[in-house]
Amino acid sequence: MNGWAAGVAAGFERLVHPGVTGEDRARQRRLLGVLLAGPFVVSAAVAQAAWPFWGVSGVLAMLCALFGASWLIALSVVARGRARVAQWVALGGATVLAGSVAAMSGGMASPVAMLIAAIPLETWWVSRSRRETVVASLMAVAAVVAVASVSAPAGAAVSAWLWIAPALYGATLALRGGLSDAAVAAPEAAERTIPESGLDAVVVRLSRNGEVENASAQAARIFGVEPELLLGNGLFERIHVADRVAFLCAASQARDEGRPARCEARIRLPAGEGGSVHHPFEIEMAPVGVGAVAAILRDGREKAELRERVARAGEKIDSAEISKGRFLATVSHELRTPLNAIIGFSDMLLHREISGELTTKQSEHVGLIRDAGNHLLSVVNAILDVSKIEAGSYPITVEPFDLKNAVELCRAMLEPQAQERGVTLAANLPHGLGQVLGDRRAVQQILLNLLSNAVKFTPKGGQVNVNASCRAGMVRIFVNDTGIGIAGDDLARLGTPFTQVQNDYTRQFQGTGLGLSLVKGLVKLHGGTMSIESAPGLGTTVTVGLPAADPQGDGTAQDDEADETGEERYGTALRKIA
């Protein structure tokens, strides 16, 4: 009953003029209900009373006049927002109609005469005024006196069918018991629920069907419109079309699920010279009763401007990164040509068969030039590779290959450097490891960079080990060293281009900080993972995961022990996942 009553009240609420507020609004809502629904109740009595005298055409004419007059009065109330005169016109017409129908139906002996009692009842229902109810009662008494003093016309007969109209009217009274509570108590509850001045926001109360039942006075200051203009569909019609679905979904969530909901919407507000503009608002909704929702609308222009600034700043950063990458790529290309010439001529000068004998000092100088050129060329190549990876243009050819052969090749290439530094370099890959699915050249570049770093930062007498395992479709490569280790604060910065860990030990080595950045990018291109475990004085373990050619391959017990050894060794180490 309450749901039905709330729906009926909301329907009549939509018809009330937006400029009507307070108790007058409730009064007009009730009057419109009587004017629109009343003819349906009375029509049964009018048809039965007029049929014996005027026939079908007369009945139709009277019904058209009844509906037309009642709805015309309702239309004037809706259009003008003033109901006082319309109410008295309707009251007078209803008195005349009730008396006439009762007289035509057999006088005071007819059940239709009971409808005369509806005159003071409906007056009380609409106005809630004792004075107006007393006046309506006097008019009803006058109608009773008039009917009693007039003889029933010839042909008038009392029939059981005449009870239809009084029965319908009695049903409306019973149904309006629930409607009365909903229509009268809802506005009062809304007033108690909505804090009009406690928030720097517009607070509205939404009915079950999403229409505004009440709006706080802050609307005049924040929206620039009177609160009455937001009632009914007024607020919804001001919401941008693209945001209406989000608004309705948030209202439905708050109403049906009984928990707060949020959304953002652009609302049309008046602008200068009769124009309008949509401004962003943040909307919070919460249930406040059976089927009702309270919505708090806050100005979101400041946050929207902040988001726009952040987006513009992000675009500038992205543009700067692209420009930087292009600049580095261009410069690197321009450097490779002279560097190749320097390295080539240095090699020629060191060959006696080509350039003849050189003095010891000359050979030393030419060797330094060649070594410096090779170092600079490696830096240029690394910059080019990093730039291609960041630009998404680094080409890789994915194919299955034997990881053990690639690891052994890289170990052999770095063995002279390890022996020169007094570091033991070993590779211990288990049998039956399986193949890796990736680019052989890129994977070898990953291994070379990791092993080179491990050898470089491991003091004399230390060890660098490479092992691997296959688990869950991934081949995991472990590069473990007993070097100086990395502090926790420095771990977070590793993998960023041109970033190096600076301490007393690392200052003695050359480097650009591109090695791990290149490894990180190449691993990402393969869809793999990279993690680093390290602590000062305990060494470092870098774990790289690459897709296995056979996803069903299983690891061995030896591999698991190797992984667990690393975890146990660096039990207190920090971890960075790339």
Element at 462 (helix H, strand E): none
Tens digits of per-residue pLDDT, 512-561? 567 788 888 889 888 999 998 888 888 889 999 999 987 765 544 334 43
Contacts of 125 (CB under 8 A, 6+ apart): 30, 34, 176, 180
Residue with tokens 């309006």: 176
DSSP string for residues in 211-247? -EEEE-TTHHHHTSS-GGGGTBTHHHHHB-GGGHHHH
Regarding pTM above 0.85, the answer is no
Kindly compute the dihedral angle of the four CA atoms of residues 337, 341, 343, 344, in this order, to the nearest 10 degrees: 130
Residue 75: in which H helix or E strand, if any? helix 22-80
Q: What are 132's two structure tokens?
A: 């107006």
Cα 30 to its chain centre, rounded Å, is 41
Residues 296, 193: Cα–Cα separation, whole Å? 12
The predicted pLDDT at position 562 comes to 38
Q: How many other CB atoms are there within 10 angstroms of residue 415's CB atom?
A: 14
Q: How far apart are CA 266 and CA 43, in angstroms?
A: 48
**120 residue type, one letter:** P
pLDDT confidence of residue 177? 65
pLDDT of residue 260: 92
The token duo for 263 is 């959304």
- Alpha-carbon gap, residue 486 to 493, rounded angstroms: 11
Q: What is the CA radius of gyration of the chain?
A: 45
Pull the structure tokens for residue 335: 């450097």
Q: 190-229, pLDDT tens digit by residue?
A: 444 445 556 788 999 898 888 888 888 888 888 888 888 8
Residue for token pair 């690197």:
332
Asked whether the CA dihedral 333, 337, 342, 348 is positive or negative, the reply is positive
One digit per residue, the tens of pLDDT, for the chain of length 578 reads 445 555 666 677 777 776 676 778 788 888 888 888 888 888 877 877 777 777 788 778 888 888 888 889 888 888 888 888 888 888 888 888 888 887 777 777 777 778 888 888 888 888 888 898 888 889 888 888 887 887 655 555 556 667 787 888 788 777 776 554 444 444 444 444 445 556 788 999 898 888 888 888 888 888 888 888 888 888 999 999 999 999 999 999 998 888 899 999 999 998 877 788 999 999 999 998 777 899 999 998 888 889 889 999 988 888 887 777 777 777 777 887 888 888 888 888 888 778 778 888 888 888 888 888 887 887 777 777 777 777 777 788 889 999 999 999 999 989 999 999 899 999 988 888 888 999 998 999 899 989 998 998 888 899 999 999 988 889 999 999 998 888 777 777 776 665 666 554 444 555 556 778 888 888 988 899 999 888 888 888 999 999 998 776 554 433 443 343 344 443 333 444 44
CA 317 – CA 315 distance, rounded (Å): 5
Which pLDDT score is estimated for 160? 66
Q: What pLDDT, on a 0 to 100 scale, did the predictor assign at position 193? A: 46
Asked whether the beta carbons of 150 and 113 are under 8 A apart, the reply is no
Which residue from 272, 294, 293, 269 is spatially nearest to 281, judged by alpha carbons?
269
pLDDT of residue 495: 63
Q: 220 burial class (0-12, 13-18, 19+ CB within 10 angstroms)?
A: middle
Instruction: Let me know how many helices (H) and strands (E) the chain has, helices first.
Output: 17, 13
Q: What is the pLDDT of residues 70-84, one digit of tens each?
A: 889 888 888 888 888
Q: Rounded to an integer, what distance in angstroms lies between the CA atom of residue 83 and that of residue 33?
A: 13
